[in-house]
Structure 1
Amino acid sequence: MLSVNPLCSEALLQYIWLSGHFDPFGLATVTGEPVTILNPGQLNRDGGPDFTAARLRIAGMEWAGNVELHYRTSDWRRHGHQHNPRYHNVILHVVFEHDLPGPPQGIPVLELQRRIPKILLRRYRHLMDHTAFVPCAPLLHRVPEEVWERWTPRLIEERLARKTEVFRNWLEQTRFNWEEVCTRAMAQGYGMPVNTAAFLELFQSIPFMLLARTRPYRQRLEALLFGQAGMLETAFQDTYPKELQSEYRFLQHKHGLQSMPAHRWQWLRMRPTSFPSLRIAHFAAVLHNTPHLFSRLLDTEDIPALEKLLEAGPSPYWQYHYRLDVPSVSTAAPGRHILHHIMINTVVPLLYLYGKHMRLPQYQQRALDLLDNIPAENNRIIRGWAEEKVPSITATDSQSLLQLKQCYCDAKRCLECKVGKSLLGDDINVCREDEEDQLWGAER
């Protein structure tokens, strides 16, 4: 059970002030001056008072200016605002608890402690203390469908912004060579989930012009990639890896190449289809078969055509090997879920960034359409949401839920989440505290 008087954080107080989740009738300052809120102002995320451009009527006179919020009135002096000129035009000091004989510096003080529904405070404390998969798990069934519909596009936009930031930096590094950026991005995609960094290191170690010149010659391309990956440093029995080794030594000497340490690659606890050797072979086939990969991606509009582009078959040796010099009965091409994973994490962000950078919104829309038509991912987080009765049908659903869990739920950013805001204000005037506590307790 929570304490009878749960604390109200300043972040929650900001939310309450902005959303109006308090009794607005008969508002008055601690000295008895009537207060009417004409406009609560705009939340200020920079330095200075919490809200700017507020409009209030205090004691019959209309004021325009800033509003500062604190848990206690004494926090004004504790934070040193009396010495900061940014706070000289504060027209109202809003607090949860007034703990001084009078207002500091003569600024009117409005206390909200007795005007905020206790159930809202308790629910917020439950959210902050709850240790379930997501903080609001006991109340998720109350979230209206329209809240999800409004929140999902914003989450997708945020997730694409995160993913494209790296690509944007590569564009600047490569002087806006989209083909080179595409190659790096696709390499990362083929390395997911555990060899992402190693694949990126591999392709950053090869001058792009050398890669482009080598691309038409399959065995030379494979020699370059496996040699740079540090996978040609041992003695082999099979003819094929011996040929790759000889070819790579020539390329290495001619171009002054330095191979990666072999220990960069992860092999443990993964299926053979995810072995980095087989992934390199498959990506080498894509590069060999598609000279202008990024241009092809721009021209390929439907998912079956993208799947065909990404599942190019490697050289015959890899039909019976997962690793160099280690035979197997047969090998399998990357499963459709792997191809979809590459589309979601590479193709979609690339198209979205290209459309935004080139001001061609049709490519941004195509990226979003792809997410709408690719099946949802199946991973630990998405399964966790499914257990909470929040299903994923498409990649749009799964990507938005990944963003929500990783960037909001795990960080307890409930006050910035549309789901959290919806639940904080849901039925706060009709819920019984004992029923609410039982609901949360049942989830522990």
Structure 2
Amino acid sequence: MPSSEAILHFIWKYKMFNPLGLRTTDGETLQILATGIHNLDAGPDFHQSKIKIGETIWAGNVEIHLKSSDWLKHHHNIDRAYDNVILHVVWENDIDIKRTDETVIPVLELKNIIDKRIIENYDQLRQNNYWIPCENQLPNVDSFIKQQTLDRMMMERLEDKANIINEIYQLNKGNWEDTFYITLAKSFGFKVNNLPFEILAKQLPQNILAKHKNNPLQIEALIFGISGLLDRKFEDVYPNQLKTEFEFLKNKYQLISLDASLWKFSKTRPDNFPTIRLSQFAALVIKSFHLFSKIIEIKNQSDYVKLFEDLVINNYWEKHFMFDKEVEEKSVNLGKSSIQIILINAIAPLLFFYGKQIGNKQFIDSSLEILENVKAESNIITKGFKERGLFVQNSFDSQAVIHLKKNYCDQKKCLNCGIGLKILSA
């Protein structure tokens, strides 16, 4: 017997059996005119199904179980939502099932009409402990199926990111500049500090920063002050200047600082310390206000990168990673890989969401083009797929495999994956 009803849903949905000569357990001829729409919510498993039993055509729902007695275990016998079930599809028919009006529900038993290799393949995928369930079969899957799966994964990932941006958009009552400002700030936090960066941007509105656009020190003071990293005594002149400026601005605008403990320094390379990222973010704010307006006017892909190049960062950070701790002179500008991460996590998703929101495919295409032109990320997931024969060419592919691994492979949702479906139907 299969380990899960899910494989029976798959078998029914794709008619993974010979549809000719079917009969119900009562011996009546059965013809499947439409398997129906797979229902992932409460209620019968398939809606709007259409079948012909004997000479009668029926339209309604189909319910699927491993055993017909599961109908009683799931209490469908007292639920009128199941009275419109026209066919009970089961692996094994161990008991007659009736609707609440005592009429018997026709049954299609699968165990003797399907290829057992489908069940074996599925159980093998579900029960192994490989890094990805299909790693032994993946090299043999056609490259077209692989790319088709990656295309779908990437669109799902963009949709997920667009939903997150939409929450920010709604919170800011449809203000695109503020939406982008917060989204961009999150991306400067990268994975480790994206939450405190988001909170900072929400607590430090752009309209306050705009009032001080001609005074770089005050912009830096506002950003570092809100971060909470100025809430102590300093030895160096620069942080003391920031602190003095911020104390005045804090009282003027009734600002509230974050708790400094929100920022993560441990297990982070010095180049990624929040102090460095905050200084870079401040430099970007100083360089360019109304960034969203500039983003949507860009036609040339290389111009997206130029926005983040050559930032004028306070020279204090050329010899510091943290306040009061001097190091040898170093580069403080955003590196190429950092800019690429911002393009992946902020610019591309924002353009995708904007294009959807206003109904302009041009911006959706631009978001995809960014991902296709940015180098693939190098991490444990992309390396793992490369080792198993899935070629990752650019950030479109790397983002796709990240989504695939986290949302399908790790959860063993092989029946919802194009690669998994191909393996099962081979």
Place the TM-score, normalised by the shorter chain, in its bin: over 0.9
Find the aligned partners of 2:399 and 2:340 in 1 and give their Cα distance.
12
Q: Work out which of the residue numbers 31, 34, 40 in structure 2 matches 1:45.
A: 40
Secondary structure of the equivalent of 1:62?
A: strand
Deviations 1:177-216 (A, max 9, x none): 1111111111111101201111112122223321221233
The aligned counterpart of 1:328 is 327
Secondary structure of the equivalent of 2:321?
A: strand
* Superposition CA RMSD, Å: 1.6
Equivalent positions of 1:171-210 (< 5 A) are 171-210=169-208
Verify the 8 A CA contact 2:348 2:368 in the aligned structure 1.
Answer: yes
Q: CA deviation at 1:13?
A: 0.5
TM-score by length of 2: 0.95
1:130 correspondence with 2:125:
no
Deviations 1:226-265 (A, max 9, x none): 1111121222222211211111111112222222121111
Verify the 8 A CA contact 1:70 1:96 in the aligned structure 2.
Answer: yes
Find the aligned partners of 1:164 and 1:410 in 2 and give their Cα distance.
23
The aligned counterpart of 1:86 is 81
Distance 1:230 1:46, change over 3 A: closer
Find the aligned partners of 2:281 and 2:298 in 1 and give their Cα distance.
18
Deviations 1:32-69 (A, max 9, x none): 11212222222122332212222222123332222211
Equivalent positions of 1:293-308 (< 5 A) are 293-308=291-306
Find the aligned partners of 2:297 and 2:329 in 1 and give their Cα distance.
33
Q: CA deviation at 1:103?
A: 4.7
TM-score by length of 1: 0.91
Verify the 8 A CA contact 2:153 2:403 in the aligned structure 1.
Answer: yes
Find the aligned partners of 2:233 and 2:81 in 1 and give their Cα distance.
71
The aligned counterpart of 2:53 is 58
Equivalent positions of 1:3-18 (< 5 A) are 6-18=1-13
Q: CA deviation at 1:342?
A: 0.6
Find the aligned partners of 1:68 and 1:193 in 2 and give their Cα distance.
43
Secondary structure of the equivalent of 2:86?
A: strand
- Write the letter of the residue equivalent to 2:148: R
Verify the 8 A CA contact 2:234 2:240 in the aligned structure 1.
Answer: yes
Secondary structure of the equivalent of 1:38?
A: strand
Verify the 8 A CA contact 2:146 2:390 in the aligned structure 1.
Answer: no
Find the aligned partners of 1:77 and 1:249 in 2 and give their Cα distance.
69
The aligned counterpart of 2:230 is 232
Q: Work out which of the residue numbers 98, 104, 111 in structure 1 matches 2:109.
A: 111
Distance 1:358 1:25, change over 3 A: closer
Equivalent positions of 1:222-371 (< 5 A) are 222-311=220-309, 312-332=311-331, 333-371=333-371
Q: Work out which of the residue numbers 65, 72, 77 in structure 1 matches 2:72.
A: 77
The aligned counterpart of 2:218 is 220
Find the aligned partners of 2:305 and 2:84 in 1 and give their Cα distance.
61
The aligned counterpart of 1:396 is 396
Secondary structure of the equivalent of 1:137?
A: coil
Q: CA deviation at 1:148?
A: 2.3
Deviations 1:330-379 (A, max 9, x none): 22222211110110000001111111111221111101111111111111
Verify the 8 A CA contact 1:211 1:221 in the aligned structure 2.
Answer: yes
Instruction: After superposing the two structures, state which structure 1 stretch, 302-311 or 332-341, moved more.
Output: 302-311
Find the aligned partners of 1:260 and 1:89 in 2 and give their Cα distance.
57
Task: Count residues with an aligned counterpart.
Answer: 420
Find the aligned partners of 1:384 and 1:233 in 2 and give their Cα distance.
43
Q: CA deviation at 1:307?
A: 2.1
Find the aligned partners of 2:214 and 2:302 in 1 and give their Cα distance.
25
Verify the 8 A CA contact 1:65 1:90 in the aligned structure 2.
Answer: yes
Find the aligned partners of 1:259 and 1:103 in 2 and give their Cα distance.
64
Instruction: After superposing the two structures, state which structure 1 stretch, 303-312 or 88-97, moved more.
Output: 303-312
Verify the 8 A CA contact 1:273 1:331 in the aligned structure 2.
Answer: no
Verify the 8 A CA contact 1:155 1:404 in the aligned structure 2.
Answer: yes
Find the aligned partners of 2:227 and 2:56 in 1 and give their Cα distance.
74
Point out where structure 2 has 5 or more consecutive residues left out of the alignment: none
Q: CA deviation at 1:322?
A: 1.7
Find the aligned partners of 1:213 and 1:263 in 2 and give their Cα distance.
29
Secondary structure of the equivalent of 1:53?
A: strand
Q: CA deviation at 1:303?
A: 4.1
1:382 correspondence with 2:371:
no
Q: CA deviation at 1:417?
A: 1.0
- Write the letter of the residue equivalent to 1:357: Q
- Write the letter of the residue equivalent to 1:84: D
The aligned counterpart of 1:418 is 418
Q: CA deviation at 1:422?
A: 0.8
Secondary structure of the equivalent of 2:136?
A: helix
- Write the letter of the residue equivalent to 1:135: P
Find the aligned partners of 1:352 and 1:359 in 2 and give their Cα distance.
10
Verify the 8 A CA contact 1:322 1:331 in the aligned structure 2.
Answer: no
Deviations 1:114-134 (A, max 9, x none): 112111111111111111111
Secondary structure of the equivalent of 2:307?
A: helix
Verify the 8 A CA contact 2:154 2:399 in the aligned structure 1.
Answer: yes
Q: CA deviation at 1:414?
A: 1.0
The aligned counterpart of 1:430 is none
Find the aligned partners of 2:253 and 2:36 in 1 and give their Cα distance.
63
